[in-house]
Structure 1
């Protein structure tokens, strides 16, 4: 464990999380951590405080709960419980594996026999696994990329309801009090090629999901109460002929513009804006470069939306949001350090990104000017979190790096856990919740007088 020696002043960045908190939708306001990347969807943990700087398998771990199956979805949290999704895979013969891979061209694909898709519930205080709910059994699942899982999209938590999305494999709503399925939907069909990746967004009474496959591309809203389609809008931007360049795994962000809730939605080659209520396309903007297999979720500040074009020479883009009656435009672009999978993080006037190969970069958010670049080490899929005035980000080796935000790079600590980190951490109160490929952890400094 490597720990920086300089003490860290608490509360420095608390005021900077206010904007992100205001973006949280009223329908999920009662959950402490209702969605991937927190209440505002931008990676800010506004009420986290007194978080531990260091931890290990034997230090500052309140509990560790092994999880069945495999999944990269990030935890969502209410007052008493933590919810996640997982996939329980089964063996497949060598002959069937070869046949399935032949039918699905692609790179680094893996296949499974029948897959059970499940929702898990863990007690927040004790770490005890309370519920393991079967949502779907897929007898002949599509292959997935070796870096993906069948349960990568994160669930969304609202009052009494958990919404679980698995792309082509189905969407389900769970009554969290009764631990039973309220509705399920399996009509949003598409060929992912690499497996599901888009996380849904809950806006008022609608659950909104991206469906950007190699065969079809659209965005759709389901009625949150019934699971029926409320609206469905086809992607309108012209795409390249190669079907592998048509797919995307993005997650939208809801922002308020001119008194209207606007859904900012990154897809292959284009970023779109839709009326969240109706699905009407408000504008679209070409990246001007190849952009596909989009994974990072956009963030917003200073009248700009920040996103990455993801694979094959990715670029980090700052999109200037249009004023009433105007058009969007690309304010700046930066190639160096642009991530394929990890989402950006905005803190005040600085934008932070971590590339898949472990290079962290800080840029001036308004101009795109690089401020500093440092190698952390390892490979990254998880997105950074701002909590208690620090940036936390984990790699696929099980290391979590703790960085002080600012115009000078300062690594405060590097903390190792067993397993790999694909999921993004959550932070509520004094605790940090980390999921590895093996377990869920509650990371917390013991209270004074507590038995270690």
Structure 2
């Protein structure tokens, strides 16, 4: 069994190696929050190490996706009636494209921690894939042309959240509503449905992860009450683990040491370490260990070497031995958290919801390297490219650079 790695993830995503320095999807090339960038800033403020600041229209919590000189984000204006995609120049911060993808007369309600534009765009070649939950899914070209649109029917109740993934010619999405729950694969060139796998459970908002297990790809897809693994080519279920009562699941899985780490989210979050390689219902046989105190509802976990870093929504940081679940330390960061942690340039970046980013050293002992503050709300995860950090607030996108 193999840990998912940047090379394998890039091969699944594009059929070729990802260009160095790109950040094409939620949580980066490997989907697990790791960056190969170096010479990144350790400290910043509104007046320090800001290469540029781009004011953004509307509100969206999608993270920046970056390929080449283009940064793509989604946003919603007019109280969610206009669902838009923005393209920002990586070097200057100039908004190059501002395109309305969907217009909705009744966009519905959203949770106070959500937006109508929270799923992160996925870039492959000259195409950008966009998902606004039940409000619409689309593909646009990097020159701003809308190539196709479709609407997937399900009631997500609190607004859109889970981001798309690619496997070969398939665009795969979790659609876990209050009414129906399913995973669907669309033809990435046309938007037409290729396969759909229904599942039982509750509403959820997670982004799946494609990994290699015994040399074969598996789509690890958390939903309400269950996490399942599927063959991404066909949608056939391989294994499942139940976390009774878990719903509104948000964190994206991470994988390493023959384990995958998933959270049951609300109401009382439990983090599960699940051994890979099983078949069928492996709830009783493949759960290696659990963490209840300090498990996350929204932030994804971060695996660096043998250590697993877990940030709860209430700002409790726990460092664990990934293989055994043994706790190395647990510290209170303060603040509330939704963004997922980032490992880059040998550091771990932890961004809370109020613009404060705590930077720590990896390892078994808690060591704070810096604390940085920007104005505004910050629920989107940090992205990296071109020797810089790209951090989104509720009003602006920052390029942070030495």
Deviations, residues 362-390 of structure 1 (Å, cap 9, x unaligned): 01101111110111111000000000000
1:196 corresponding residue in structure 2: 160
* SS of equivalent to 1:125: coil
User: Could you tell me which residue of structure 2 aligns to residue 73 of structure 1?
Assistant: 62
Contact 1:346 1:352 in 2 (8 A): yes
Q: For residues 263 and 57 of structure 1, do their structure 2 counterparts lie closer, same or farther at Cα, with a shift above 3 Å needed?
A: same
1:259 CA drift (Å)? 3.1
Q: Residue 24 of structure 1: CA displacement?
A: 2.5
In structure 2, list runs of 5 or more residues that go unmatched. none
CA RMSD of aligned residues (A): 1.6
Give CA deviations for 1:30-63 in whole Å, capped at 9, x if unaligned: 46111010000000002x0011110000000000
Paired with 2:215 and 2:322, the residues of 1 have a C-alpha distance of 25
Whole-angstrom CA distance in 2 between matches of 1:304 and 1:310: 19
CA distance in 1, matches of 2:11, 2:128: 15
Determine if contact 1:44/1:387 at 8 Å carries over to the other structure.
yes
Superposition deviation, residue 325 in structure 1: 9.2
2:388 and 2:7 mapped to 1: Cα distance? 18
The TM-score, its normalising length taken from structure 1, stands at 0.85
SS at match of 1:419: coil
The aligned counterpart of 1:321 is: 276
Where in structure 2 are the equivalents of 1:48-447 lying within 5 Å?
A: 48-90=37-79, 115-176=81-142, 178-186=143-151, 188-235=152-199, 237=200, 239=201, 246-287=202-243, 289-322=244-277, 327=282, 329-445=286-402
TM-score by structure 2 length? 0.95
Instruction: Supply the distance in 1 between the matched residues of 2:99 and 2:276 (Cα, whole angstroms).
Output: 42
Q: Following TM superposition, by how much is the alpha carbon of 1:202 offset from its aligned partner in structure 2, in angstroms?
A: 1.1
Q: 2:349 & 2:384 partners in 1: Cα distance?
A: 10
- Count of aligned residue pairs for this structure pair: 394
Greater alpha carbon shift after TM alignment, 354-363 vs 257-266: 257-266
Question: How far off is 1:193 after superposition?
Answer: 1.2
| Residue in structure 2 matched with residue 40 of structure 1 by the alignment | 30
Larger radius of gyration: 1
CA–CA separation in structure 1 for the residues paired with 2:107 and 2:281: 44
* Distance in 1 between residues matched to 2:68 and 2:385, nearest whole Å: 10
Secondary structure of 1:24's counterpart equals: helix
Task: Give the deviation of 1:399 after TM superposition.
Answer: 0.5
Q: Deviations over 1:289-331 (max 9, x none)?
A: 3211000000000000001110111111101112589956111
